[in-house]
């Protein structure tokens, strides 16, 4: 897939899974994809490493995204509640 096809299929602010060494993150594209050297197609995302190849991204299905009203601690991915006290286990 080239940059033009990627930009037509996935507009800015699209959600993707990005697999890293520490696990899998949900990231959002912040810019359009563009061609780099050696035929690589790169896109800017909202998390470190900021620019990734489009081949490292996997689209998030629409049903997975939980629609919430943004609060003061807004997160993109699913909200996971951790217990505050041992009695909550």
Q: Which sequence spans correspond to the domains of the chain?
A: 1-62
How many angstroms separate the Cα of 15 from the Cα of each of 38, 76, 85, 86, 87? 26, 9, 33, 35, 36
Confidence tier at 89 by pLDDT (50, 70, 90): very low
pTM higher than 0.85: no
Smallest Cα–Cα separation from 22: which of 47, 54, 51, 55?
47
* pLDDT per position as a tens digit, 52-81: 999 999 998 866 665 555 555 555 555 555
* CATH code for the structural domain at 1-62: 2.30.30
- Residue 2 in tokens: 């080239």
């Amino acid at each position: 897939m080239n940059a033009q096809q990627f930009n037509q299929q996935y507009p800015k602010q699209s959600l993707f899974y990005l697999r890293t060494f520490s696990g899998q993150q949900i990231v959002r594209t912040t810019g359009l994809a563009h061609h780099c050297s050696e035929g690589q197609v790169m896109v800017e995302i909202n998390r470190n490493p900021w620019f990734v190849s489009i081949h490292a991204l996997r689209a998030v299905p629409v049903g997975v995204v939980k629609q919430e009203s943004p609060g003061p601690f807004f997160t993109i991915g699913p909200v996971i509640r951790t217990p505050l006290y041992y009695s909550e286990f």
